[in-house]
Amino acid sequence: MTNPILSDWTTPYEIAPFNAISDDDFAPALDQAIQAHNAQIDAIASNAGIPSFGNTIEALEAAGEKMDKVLSVFFTVAGADSNAKREELQRDFSPKLAAHFSGISSNKALFQRVADLWARKEELDLTEEQARVLMLTHRGFVRAGAALQGEEDARMQEIKARLASLGTSFTQNLLADERDWYMALTEDDLEGLPEFVVDAARTAGEEKSADGAVVTLSRSLIVPFLQFSPRRDLREKAYQAWTARGANGGETDNREIAAEILNLREERAKLLGYDSFADFKLETEMARTPDKVRNLLMQVWEPAKLRADADAETMTQMMQEDGVNGPLEAWDWRYYAEKRRKAEHDLDEAALKPYLQLDRMIEAAFSCANRLFGLEFTPLDVPLYHPDCRAWEVTRNGQHIAVFIGDYFARGSKRSGAWCSAMRSQAKFPKVQAPIVINVCNFAKGDPALLSYDDARTLFHEFGHALHQMLSDVTYESISGTSVARDFVELPSQLYEHWLEVPEVLSEFATHAQTGEAMPQEMLEKVLKAANFDQGFQTVEYVASALVDLAFHDGAAPADPMAKQVELLAEIGMPQAIGMRHATPHFAHVFAGDSYSSGYYSYMWSEVMDADAFAAFEEAGGAFDPERARALEDNILSTGGSREAEELYLAFRGRLPGVEALLKGRGLIAA
């Protein structure tokens, strides 16, 4: 019987047949996929013909179609709907996949063919895109250790296999801590909480089979609890549990895992001839060097810290007026910031939230994409991996562009955070294929589901990533969509957040859940005026995390990462009442894999550009200026990694921005 994962998918738009796939199908499917991929690689490497772009680079691009099927399905469900079996499979798959891909990158015969082409690149009459793919392929082999020999080569394979296993363990430990902890709330404990928080807590209690409402470690629940609960003792208990994820001792403790990961990364970089892992990692990014990253972060840190220190003084006074003595603590900040926001801007999130319905915000994101890029979204009735998921066909001028899947609600089987991934990326070789793109979020369920303003911004952010995937128009999958420099990949997502703040968008789509009435003009103006509220806090918690990440990787790996974290935070003067956005034991961006390692700064690097890029619209005909929209699609959203990121931005804007646009955008300096 044919494994349903590896069969020909006859579903609409060849979406994975989730209703026919069981967990027992994954392991045999992966074994078959690895066997098939190895045969393809061996055929390329042993080809007796003179290396050509077609028989080597394009052959590599075409290889691994079964592997793509298996991994796209498995990692989708492993991240968004995990269970004990899938966690076990992930632990088994990590070293197996690391060994497989290491075997490809260390295949000397294969690398020799790529190196031969690279040496003759001027003679090959390649298109610009083909030349780019050749360069990236050659660079990828070299950076993976293909040029290493003997013991160094063997050690590199060991390091990559071990890192893969450690990353999986880090992720699963974090998920376990997030899934297993909750704090039961009595009816008295619910006093003072807005109705939407109470509803979310009761829903969470039902999911946990608890007797009543609970607070979990889902950001969509714990953050509003910290904002609104007048019970300081409960806020402290919840905050301490939230920040202790991955550092609770026992089997799920991530501290020793983080230390080993940092040591192995340093060893890997040294084997490849780099002074540090940061030097290795940043070589391919826009920033290029650790010093440039640190310079950017410190330019932002100083004004952000000044703002945060001033805000802390104000809120300490507010706390003392409430009869609470002692210093402002981290579990107090969000509570008093919310009270201050209500007082200074007369903006009450409990009153605002009914206007931010999930369904209406999805419509808003779609509407902006329609006005900017002509995209249309039609609901699809197809089998998906969880009942919460929804799907839409994306078309333009009647032509199929993509399938978009949204998975929006928090649940115990889903890892925290929000992300965008492509189950299938756009390509024209070896066949034309339209992308299938997923946005995964962790919003609180409700009837209807209501979002905070930050939730709505997250929805727009992830949809910006989705547009980068959906509007991609390149030949080769390896440079499709978001396959760009890490410190450039956040530009489309962060740029798209700006459309949430366009007054006409909120006027149309921010409608009350009960009455259906549009958000009052007065409230709309308050929302926009308060957009930069508490930016000292938000900037400090983010930049501190980015600086710690950089410090971990720039130089010798610390023997004790937790001690290094404490040392760095003391050195930069981290305010007492603000914690890192992601402390080391739960810093999944950095330790779950290599994507954001030594690269967490990239959100800030991209924000320098996104503030300037949106200004280009405002300087032209406004937020929906058609000429600027075409330029954005033609030079950034459709081009993937076909050219250097700096070149793409220059083509769109004509110049590179300075940090001033970011500081003004965050309200940290005068506009």
Catalytic residue positions, numbered: 462
Rounded distance between C-alpha atoms, residue 668 and residue 664, angstroms: 6
Q: Cβ distance 100 to 34 under 8 Å?
A: yes
Q: Which two tokens stand for residue 299?
A: 């330019």
Name the DSSP letter for residue 272. T
Name which of 651, 642, 285, 638 is nearest 469 in CA terms. Answer: 638
Q: Which residues contact 70 (CB under 8 A, 6 or more apart)?
A: 5, 6, 26, 29, 30, 33
Buried b / exposed e over 459-486, threshold 16 CB at 10 Å, is bbbbbbbbbbbbbbbbbbbbbbbbbbbb
Tokens of 19: 């209703």
**Residue 221 near residue 204, CB atoms below 8 Å:** yes
Angle among Cα 332, 223, 601 to the nearest 5 degrees reads 95
Can you give the C-alpha Rg of the chain in angstroms? 25
How far apart, in whole angstroms, are the C-alpha atoms of residue 402 and residue 404?
6
Nearest C-alpha neighbor of 561 from the set 249, 106, 247, 314:
247
| Strand duo 399-409 + 436-443: pairing | parallel
How buried is 190 (Cβ within 10 angstroms: 0-12 exposed, 13-18 middle, 19+ buried)? middle
Tokens representing 318?
């507010």
Task: Using alpha carbons, select from 492, 501, 502, 500 the residue that is nearest to residue 471.
Answer: 492
Alpha-carbon distance of 451 to 353, in angstroms, equals 6
